[in-house]
């Protein structure tokens, strides 16, 4: 039985009483009832659950704990970097630090960068563990990035002192 009513176009309202039904499949009669049943009940509910990665999660948690311990000891010393530089200069007999406020700025930038990277690392790693995806590279790579940023800030603080550069070049 053919339906003579016009079909609606995209964005157009359907006429009164018009109902869409999918076209009949001519091969449906050939398939018996046992083939129509799905033997796997999880396949109908969506994607099957991924296996939990115990070793991956353990390594990630270990790396996160190590990062928190490292940051908890290094961030306060980075905020007080001027006293550390002064002790370094006194031990080496280099005189006074002549870089001005560069050491304070470099220490604060390094400390804030470490805290921001630590927070991002924890957030990303916990999300990946919750999604049961590989997560251990995140704290490892973020730790390397934090180390590079901290080392770069320390080098910039030392290079800002012209007296240190002249004493290094003269020896």
CB 143 within 8 A of CB 59: no
pLDDT in tens, 21-75: 777 776 765 555 445 555 554 444 556 677 778 899 999 999 999 999 999 999 9
Query: Using CA atoms, how far apart are residues 74 and 84, in angstroms rounded to an integer?
Result: 12
Q: Indicate whether 105 pLDDT > 70.
A: yes
When pLDDT is averaged across residues 10-27 and rounded to a whole number, the result is 74
Query: Using CA atoms, how far apart are residues 16 and 1, in angstroms rounded to an integer?
Result: 19
By C-alpha distance, which of 28, 31, 27, 3 is closest to 17? 3
Tell me the pLDDT of the chain averaged across its residues: 83
When pLDDT is averaged across residues 90-113 and rounded to a whole number, the result is 88
Confidence (pLDDT) at 99:
78
Question: 167 pLDDT band (50/70/90 cuts)?
Answer: confident
pTM assigned to the model: 0.65
The separation between CA 46 and the C-alpha centre of its own chain, rounded to angstroms, equals 27
């Amino acid at each position: 039985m053919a339906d003579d009513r016009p079909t609606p176009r995209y964005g157009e309202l359907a006429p009164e009483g018009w109902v869409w039904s999918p076209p009949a499949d001519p091969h449906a009669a050939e398939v018996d009832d046992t083939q129509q049943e799905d033997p796997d009940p999880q396949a109908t509910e969506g994607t099957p659950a991924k296996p939990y990665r115990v070793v991956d999660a353990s390594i990630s948690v270990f790396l996160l704990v190590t990062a928190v311990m490292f940051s908890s000891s290094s961030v306060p010393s980075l905020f007080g970097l001027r006293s550390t530089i002064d002790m370094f200069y006194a031990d080496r007999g280099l005189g006074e630090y002549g870089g001005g406020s560069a050491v304070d700025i470099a220490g604060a930038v390094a400390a804030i960068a470490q805290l921001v990277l630590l927070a991002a690392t924890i957030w990303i790693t916990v999300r990946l563990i919750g999604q049961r995806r590989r997560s251990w590279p995140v704290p490892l790579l973020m730790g390397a990035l934090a180390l590079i940023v901290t080392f770069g800030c320390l080098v910039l603080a030392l290079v800002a002192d012209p007296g240190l550069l002249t004493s290094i070049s003269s020896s």
